[in-house]
Amino acid sequence: LVPMLSSKLLNKVSPPRVVFDHKTRNPVLLFGKAMQRLNELYGRLLRWALSHRKIVVGGFIIALLLSIAATGLIGTEFLPETDQGEISVAIKMPSGTNLEQTQKVAQDIEGLIRHEVSDIKHIFNVVGSSGIYSMSGSSSHEASLQIQLKPLDERQFTTTETAEQIRGLLARVPGAEITVSAAEMMTGSSALEVSVRGDDLTILEQLGDQILNIFEGTEGVRNAKNSLAVGNNELQLIVDRESLARYGLTAGQVLTAVRNSYDGQVISRMRTGENEVDIRLETANNAEATVDSLANLTIVSPTGARVPVSAVARIENNKSPQQIVRYAQSREVRITADIAGRDLGSINNEINAKLAQLKMPEGYLLDMGGQTEDMMESFGSLIMALLLSILLVYMFLVAQFESLFQPFIIMFALPPTFIGVVIGLGLTGHHLSVPALIGAIMLVGIVLNNSIVLVDYVNNLRKRGYELREAILEAGPIRLRPILMTALTTILAILPLAFGVGEGAELRAPMAIVVAFGLAFSTLITLVLVPVVYSIFDEWGKKISLRFTRKSDEQAVTEA
């Protein structure tokens, strides 16, 4: 189609020199004049580069090494942080707090947030549970606030910034354990997670507390928790068998008396129509199970004597974990945390350095998990996919060019993309993430087009009898325009995606930025680097060929 339309529409187009020699205000012709001047400048740059090949190659190597060194400044993360406009506030009062007190604290916190934060749209208050979607059942000492912010274009701050503001406000609230977290998309695990496995729960709790202190002492870590520290207070009765026998009591009688006193006892039933309602005998609502009240509780012995519980049992106030997790037949404690204000990679490196100084008892293992583990697995898979794509492209070019060296020259367009990727991510403030690596894989097939166009035309000119230098100087300016046009069309088409706004745009931006900046810098550097590398490899090929020719001639003379 394109050749047919060109034959019909371009048959009366005048030669460039005839058009450009006249003054004109036509923007198309002005653009053509600008391209002609750019071709002349590029021709001069190409001559200089071919005469100073060591400077060109050395400068490129220095730029590449600086980019590799700057990778640590960019940071790494699993997935970019998305602005979902949702914040959850979990409130936990001391165990035993009644529902009315918890509700009052939750209402006070809601009023404080509405007064101090201006970007609030809705707040949903749930008392008696740690969250709307909680599966842990109802608890009178827990409550949660689900905060919905205004749309992104109507508020001043991001969700993370607002969560930090709320976290600072609620730090002054006494008597409550408050956790503030911003909702994120597509993250099923905590940002940071360290698991310690062993047999003794006491040692596991101690190690968990040490790691928890490391988390809390690291900048950018939020909402650090120890799975064994999250437990309920309980009173334990350790009965004295000798005392029980002396009073003629059994452990079952003590258990029944304690349970009936605080849990109640069904003494009868009342029929209401077709239903029956239990009549339960309970203590007063304000009676709480404390060490003193339990010690003074009396039990009637078979002889009729009233025996206090403290006479037949020892009472201890302990804290028990809500659940004991096992992994590979070993008990496990998990320390989890969220992050804010720093990238996951730098925080993980700092925590690993501190954990390396932690002395682990024999038989206890430490393992990293969470998004850190997901990030490392994803990065490993994507890097393998990147290497495989490079290998497949190289094999295809070898088959097309029927040479091992020329595809290798074309592949020199890939390293400059890394320079553009580092500069693009650094300028825009994004981190190296899974979408960014996906963009790098896409770049493999895109950036090589420019080198293929240039090298193929140089080969055609050499077949016509051109010398190597003449062929490069002739092919470069002629292929400059199509190379720039193909690169610019791709870059301009993807820029709206790179700098797009709106909720969820953060997830797509790194991929687009990698493609746009990588292609831009690869195009600019390739226009100079590939011709220089072509000339260097051609000379090396001639020297190697000449050396083998001399050896074969010497062997032929020796045999003669």
Nearest CA to 334 out of 229, 231, 232, 227 is that of 227
Q: Does residue 370 lie in a domain region?
A: no
Nearest CA to 255 out of 244, 266, 247, 242 is that of 244
pLDDT of residue 555: 65
User: Do residues 214 and 368 lie in contact, with contact meaning Cβ atoms separated by under 8 Å?
Assistant: no
Q: Does residue 312 lie in a domain region?
A: yes
The pair of three-digit structure tokens given for residue 292, joined into one six-digit string: 């003193």
The pair of three-digit structure tokens given for residue 431, joined into one six-digit string: 């981190």
Nearest CA to 70 out of 555, 458, 517, 427 is that of 427
Helix (H) or strand (E) holding 473: helix 468-498
Q: Are strands 330-339 and 192-198 parallel, antiparallel or unpaired?
A: antiparallel
113: left (phi over 0), alpha (psi -120 to 50) or beta: alpha
pLDDT of residue 188: 61
Helix spans in 180-265 (H): 201-216, 241-247, 251-263
Of 276, 303, 321, which closes a domain? Answer: 321
The CATH number of the domain holding residue 45 is 1.20.1640.10
**Nearest 5°: phi and psi at 15?**
-60, 150
Distance CA 78, CA 488 (A): 30
Of 183, 198, 224, which closes a domain? Answer: 183
User: Do residues 515 and 494 lie in contact, with contact meaning Cβ atoms separated by under 8 Å?
Assistant: yes
Same domain? For 111 and 54 the reply is no
The CATH number of the domain holding residue 274 is 3.30.2090.10
Rg (CA), the chain: 37
Q: Does residue 20 lie in a domain region?
A: no
235: left (phi over 0), alpha (psi -120 to 50) or beta: beta
Same domain? For 424 and 535 the reply is yes
Nearest CA to 516 out of 436, 410, 450 is that of 436
Same domain? For 529 and 437 the reply is yes
Helices first, then strands: H and E counts in the chain = 17, 15
Distance CA 352, CA 354 (A): 5
**Nearest 5°: phi and psi at 339?**
-130, 155
DSSP E strands: which ranges in 29-150? Answer: 86-92, 120-127, 142-149
User: Do residues 59 and 49 lie in contact, with contact meaning Cβ atoms separated by under 8 Å?
Assistant: no
Same domain? For 127 and 42 the reply is no
User: Do residues 430 and 510 lie in contact, with contact meaning Cβ atoms separated by under 8 Å?
Assistant: yes
Of 150, 165, 183, which closes a domain? Answer: 183
Same domain? For 69 and 113 the reply is no
Same domain? For 528 and 411 the reply is yes
Per-residue pLDDT of the chain (560 residues; tens, 9 = 90+): 788 887 777 776 656 665 556 666 667 667 777 777 888 898 899 999 988 989 999 999 999 999 988 888 888 888 888 778 888 888 888 776 778 888 888 888 888 888 888 888 888 888 876 554 444 445 777 888 898 888 877 888 888 888 888 888 888 778 788 888 887 665 567 888 888 888 888 888 888 888 989 988 888 888 888 887 656 667 777 888 888 888 888 888 888 777 777 677 777 888 777 788 878 777 665 456 667 777 777 887 887 788 888 888 887 777 666 667 777 778 888 888 888 888 888 888 889 888 888 888 888 888 888 888 888 888 999 999 999 999 999 999 898 888 888 888 888 888 889 999 999 998 988 888 899 999 999 888 888 888 888 888 888 998 888 888 899 898 888 888 888 888 899 899 888 888 876 666 778 889 999 999 999 998 888 889 989 998 888 888 777 777 766 666 566 666 65
Q: Does residue 261 lie in a domain region?
A: yes
Helix spans in 230-365 (H): 241-247, 251-263, 291-295, 344-355
pLDDT of residue 98: 76
* Cα-based distances in Å from 357 to 42, 218, 226, 345: 57, 15, 20, 19
Helix (H) or strand (E) holding 195: strand 192-198
Same domain? For 417 and 544 the reply is yes
Same domain? For 171 and 103 the reply is yes
Which residues constitute the domain of residue 298?
232-321
pLDDT of residue 385: 92
Number of domains in the chain: 3
User: Do residues 533 and 461 lie in contact, with contact meaning Cβ atoms separated by under 8 Å?
Assistant: no
pTM: 0.76
Q: Is 377 helix (H, G, I), strand (E, B) or coil?
A: helix
DSSP E strands: which ranges in 264-364? Answer: 265-272, 275-281, 298-300, 306-308, 313-321, 325-327, 330-339
pLDDT of residue 344: 87
Same domain? For 236 and 312 the reply is yes
Nearest CA to 148 out of 184, 124, 114 is that of 124
pLDDT of residue 132: 46
The CATH number of the domain holding residue 135 is 3.30.70.1430
Q: Does residue 431 lie in a domain region?
A: yes
Exposure b/e, 39-60, CB count within 10 A at least 16 = b: eeebbeebeebbeeeeebbeeb
Q: What are the residues whose beta carbons fall under 8 Å from the beta carbon of 480, sequence distance 6 or more?
A: 35, 38, 39, 42, 527
Q: Does residue 273 lie in a domain region?
A: yes
Q: Does residue 8 lie in a domain region?
A: no
Same domain? For 309 and 425 the reply is no
Same domain? For 424 and 541 the reply is yes
Same domain? For 53 and 122 the reply is no
Q: Does residue 343 lie in a domain region?
A: no
The pair of three-digit structure tokens given for residue 54, joined into one six-digit string: 């060591």
pLDDT of residue 422: 92
